Structure formats: C-alpha cells, structure tokens
Amino acid sequence: MARRVLDALRGAGHTAVVAGHLEDAAALTPQEQVAALGAVRLLGADVLAPCLLTGRTPPAEETAALAAALDALPPQQPPPAAPPTGPEPPWVRGWIDWSLITVLARLDPAFVPPATPEPPPPPHCDAPTAPRRTPATVHADGTRQGWVPWSVLMGQLAPLALPGLDGPVHQAARSAATGLARGATRAVLRRDFPTAARVTRWLAWLHAENVRLPLDPVPLTEHIALLGGGGRVALDTAIARRLLDQGPA
C-alpha cells in the first residue's frame, strides 16, 4: 500500500491508489480483503498525500473506495479517551482516522463522512503549569516522562504531519521541536530507520511551518532515505522531502 502511494506521489502511478488496491483485493479471500482494508486505514491521510501535496482532487472512484473502507471498519465513536485515562493504541488510531476523514472532506467537498470527524480528546497532562497539553502526559518540551517515549509516540502519529492539518498533536510538535530532534537523532543512531523517518516527518512539517529547529532536517532526511529500507520508510522520506521543498520525491 505504501509503495502504491509512493508511486502516485512520484507521478509513476494513478492517483486512485485505494481504488486500485481494493480492486486487486477483490480476488482474495474474505480475510485477506479485510487485511487490505486495514492497510488503507493504517496509512490514514497518507493515502491522499499524492493529491494533498500536488493540489489535485481525488478521482471519484478514490473517494468511493475510501468511503467503503471507512464503512467496513468504522472509526470508534465516541472517540477513545486520551492516555493515561485510556490505552494509547486506540487513541493513536483515533487521530489517524481523524486525519483521513478531515483530509478527504477537504479535498472532496462532495464526500459525506460516515460520522462527524470529531478528533479524539487531547491527552491529560499531569504538569499543572504546562502551557499546552501534549501527548503521553509530558511537558510541552517533552521532559516529564522523557523525550524518548514522547518522540516514539509522535512517530506513530506521523500520518498527521501533512499540510492543512492542525490540532493538539500539531501544537505539541510546535512546542517540543527539541524533543523531536533528539528522538529522530536517537532513532538514526540506533539504526531504527522506520522510527527515524516518522519522527523526521514532524521536523519537516515544522520546517514548513517556519518553526526554528535545533538541527537541519534536510541532510537528516537524505541520510534516512539512503540507509533506510522498505516502502513505509520510502514514503515517509518522500513526504518529508516534499514538505522541505526539495523537489521530486
């Protein structure tokens, strides 16, 4: 699925990424078809990155395919509780679902979402004087529980690091650029390139937002693209390159 999106982003594939993916899955077993739908939902708004980053409107068949995926695996309603009140994975999933519905509604005004795209609640923060609430019950600078778990969590939310999306998660990124830079650097040193690519996407997004960063995300992105492997890493670095305005992905 990530490779399909990457091809479309590079102009080597059709923009109806999800429609083609589900059409190919129609010949599979019912269990495999569910897995194919899950792959769409796992990428979230990234399935629409080829349209979002180029200003194109998704084809009608793409909107229909995404609506079918959302109908088959509907987002949790009401949205899951934020950690630490609720478990972390459903909360992350809720934000990724929100990103997909929000971007699709923006790109295609005719799209009728299966439910109101209400974002999950912001996470609780046990720091009473923190200026903003940030994920994983940390200070805005990522130091309450440490920048390591915080940056890993933000990496899981990388599908939200796209232009046109904004919310509490994005405010957390703005407030903790140093924590994200540390997290990306740590992941590279550990050769954990999937995590490094996801966290670096947030640095690229902050760069596009004109937020001052403690490191240059351009060589970091190129380093990850050179040494990382797999479709997901390639997609994350391609999106980061587009956010950094470095030309073709």
Residue range 184-203: average pLDDT? 97
Whether 14 and 57 share a structural domain: yes
Residue 128 included in any domain: no
Using alpha carbons only, give the angle 71, 75, 81 rounded to the nearest 5 degrees: 170
> Distance (Å, rounded) from C-alpha 96 to C-alpha 108?
18
Q: Are residues 111 and 147 in the same domain?
A: no
Cβ neighbours for 36, distance < 8 A, ≥ 6 positions apart: 21, 22, 24, 25, 28
pLDDT at position 141 = 40
CA dist., res. 70 & res. 111, Å (int):
12
The verdict on 170 and 118 lying in the same domain is no
Mean pLDDT value across residues 68-82 = 82
- The answer to whether residue 249 scores a pLDDT higher than 90 is no
Q: Are residues 211 and 105 in the same domain?
A: no
Q: Which two tokens stand for residue 54?
A: 């180029």
Percentage of residues of the chain with pLDDT beyond 90: 43
Q: Identify the pLDDT of residue 227.
A: 93
Is there a domain that residue 81 lies in? yes
Q: Which pLDDT does position 144 carry in this prediction?
A: 46
Domain assignment present for residue 151? The answer is: yes
Domain edge (last residue) among 122, 150, 166 = 122
Domain of residue 158: give its range.
Answer: 135-249
Q: Is residue 161 part of a domain?
A: yes
Residue 144 and residue 109 share a domain: no
Higher-pLDDT residue of 218 and 121 is: 218
When pLDDT is averaged across residues 23-47 and rounded to a whole number, the result is: 88
**Together in a domain, 47 and 89:** yes
Residues 91 and 27 occupy one common structural domain: yes
107 shares a domain with 24 = yes
Number of domains in the chain: 2
78 is a domain residue: yes
Q: Work out the average pLDDT over 109-138.
A: 49
Contact 193, 240 (CB under 8 A): no
Among 90, 122, 154, identify where a domain stops: 122
What is the rounded CA–CA span in Å between residue 153 and residue 83? 11
Q: Global pTM?
A: 0.85
Long-range contacts of 6-13 (CB under 8 A, 24+ apart): 6/231, 6/234, 6/235, 6/238, 6/249, 8/50, 9/49, 9/50, 9/53, 9/235, 9/238, 9/239, 9/242, 9/249, 10/238, 10/248, 10/249
Asked which of 83, 98, 122 is the last residue of a domain, the reply is 122
Closest by Cα among 38, 234, 74 to 21: 38
In-domain check, residue 90: yes
111 and 149 share one domain = no
- pLDDT tier at 139, thresholds 50, 70, 90: very low
Beta bridge partners of 134: 138
Q: In this structure, are 144 and 228 located in the same domain?
A: yes
Distances (CA, A) of 211 to 175, 191, 217, 218: 10, 26, 12, 14
Structure tokens at 90: 């459903």
Is the pLDDT confidence value at 12 over 50?
yes
CA distances from 198 to 33, 58, 135, 152 (A): 27, 25, 16, 9
